[in-house]
Structure 1
Amino acid sequence: MKIWKKVLLQLAVLVVILAAALLGINQYVVSSAQGEVLCTVSDKANTISKTDLDRLAQKDADCILVLGALVRKDGSPSYMLQDRLDVGIKLYKAGAAPKLLLSGDHGQVRYDEVNVMKEYALEQGVPKKDIFLDHAGFSTYDSIYRAKAVFQVEKMIVVTQGYHQYRALYGCEKMGIDAWGAAADQTTYRGQKMRDLREIAARDKDFVKWMVRPEPTYLGDAIPISGSGIKSQD
């Protein structure tokens, strides 16, 4: 009986050590990127102050990366994705960067985040030549890796929700991309508490992934962000 108690105590100590390590990694990822989130959009009018717009415009970014999210069965963007698109398009129209890079999941014929994002941007008046599509942005890791390796981005503004910004910007740092965040938080999203918990695990996972640095699911030929986006839409 005493042996089992000793084993259980050792296991409990290991669990505490592991939990502390994972929470420490999570905090490291957050703190490393916290200062690079330069604006937060928190109302449905997509209000961005002139000060924030000027700060982002002064970075001379190559593009605005809008990270994909759920598309509904009817082919419309979810609230989360629409909020990201609205902020990205507003920044583009304000001159914060000359191109939009729309990165999402298009791994199945019946599920296509990327072309839904493109159509939304076109409807809002963004010229087709300024829209770049990353059809293989199956994860945050893949989107960031491909931004540099395929689209040859050196500097960019990342648009996603605030809780997701830290992991995305941490990945940019590891990939050698100068990046700044614009947080799209115009809505209180259902299930956000559970999403926040999952994000802790996702930060830990990507921390390890950036240490190992495997290639993303797909790479492919270079499509420089400095050119026309039409090639990426074929």
Structure 2
Amino acid sequence: MRIRRVALALTTVAAIGLAPTAIVHALAWGHQAGSANAAPHRDVLLVLGAGVLPDGQPGAYLKARLDLAADLYASGKASVILVSGDNREANYNEPLAMQRYLVRHGVPAGRIVRDPAGFDTYDSCVRAKRIYGVSRLTLVTQGYHLPRAVATCRMVGVDTFGVGDHSAKAASPGQWRYGVVRELPAAWKTMYDVVSRRTPTLGQPDPSVQQALGS
């Protein structure tokens, strides 16, 4: 009897612990694809930031996201690319590195909008809506991160379809495994942010996306 109670308790704890992950996967179901060809056309493409190397170049994971974004743009799947990342310090600028990389790969600079305060997934999604006025977009990130990223944007009111990169797994499988494990506690943080309606760094609304779409 005691063993059954312990097993039931452990099962309950596990179910509670995995509940946020189950929620984000349910919300992202049917709103994501594994390749550029399967993505619908949406005017705005959101690329979430990742690590930038000391020389200012995108790291392997960020480069894979940007390559996918460039493919989507080249195939007519988007008109504007919103690059959202960390620029809290003068010597670390993810959005600028992202823009420069995309320009080198054929995306016109006038079709790229930099968001310098996308400090995490929730911030990027909220800012896309409240600062840049985007209500519908395609989101690009790594495959293991995609369900939570899509769910986050959808929960804050942005109609989102996601496209996941899986090529970076071969470049750094250890980092990929870490990312997969990290998604479990990250899902809890996402639920807290959404339920509490945490306000990220905002500032004044920026009409740059609409200007780029109209140019």
**TM above 0.5, one fold?**
yes
- Structure 1: distance between partners of 2:28 and 2:12: 25
Q: Show the counterpart of 1:165.
A: 146
Q: Which of 186, 196, 206 pairs up with 1:212?
A: 196
Q: After superposition, where does 1:1-234 map in structure 2 within 5 Å?
A: 13=9, 17-38=12-33, 40-41=34-35, 48-49=36-37, 52=38, 55-57=39-41, 61-188=42-169, 189=172, 190-228=174-212
**Structure 1: 5+ residue runs without aligned partners?**
1-8, 42-47, 230-234
Cα distance in 2 between the residues matched to 1:173 and 1:18: 27
- RMSD (Å) for aligned C-alpha atoms: 2.0
Superposition TM-score, scaled by structure 2 size? 0.88
After superposing the two structures, state which structure 1 stretch, 184-193 or 128-137, moved more. 184-193
Count the aligned residue pairs: 205
Residue 62 of structure 1 contacts residue 154 of structure 1 at CA under 8 Å; is this kept in 2?
no
**Contact map agreement 2:43 2:77 (CA 8 A) in 1:** no
Q: TM (normalized to structure 1)?
A: 0.81
Which secondary structure does the structure 1 equivalent of 2:149 belong to? Answer: helix
- Cα 1:212–1:88 shift into 2, 3 Å: same
Question: Larger Cα Rg: Structure 1 or Structure 2?
Answer: 1
Counterpart Cα distance in 2 of 1:63 and 1:195: 26
Q: Is the 1:144–1:171 Cα contact (8 Å) retained in structure 2?
A: yes
> Which amino acid is the alignment partner of residue 27 of structure 1?
A
Q: Which amino acid aligns with 1:84?
A: R
**Partners of 2:55 and 2:185 in 1: CA distance:** 31
Structure 2 counterpart of 1:153, one-letter code: V
5+ unaligned residues in a row in structure 2: which ranges? none
For 2:76 and 2:196, the matched residues in 1 are separated by 36
Q: Distance in 2 between matches of 1:124 and 1:178?
A: 28
Task: Describe the superposition over 1:111-160 as per-residue Cα deviations: whole angstroms up to 9, x where unpaired.
Answer: 11110001111111211211100000000000000000011001100000
Deviation at 1:17, TM superposition (A): 4.0
Q: Quick check: 2:154–2:160 contact (8 Å CA) kept in 1?
A: yes
Deviations 1:178-210 (A, max 9, x none): 110111111223322222111111011101210
Preserved contact between residue 69 and residue 113 of structure 1 (Cα < 8 Å):
yes
Q: Identity of paired residues, percent?
A: 33
Q: 1:62–1:153: 8 Å Cα contact kept in structure 2? A: no
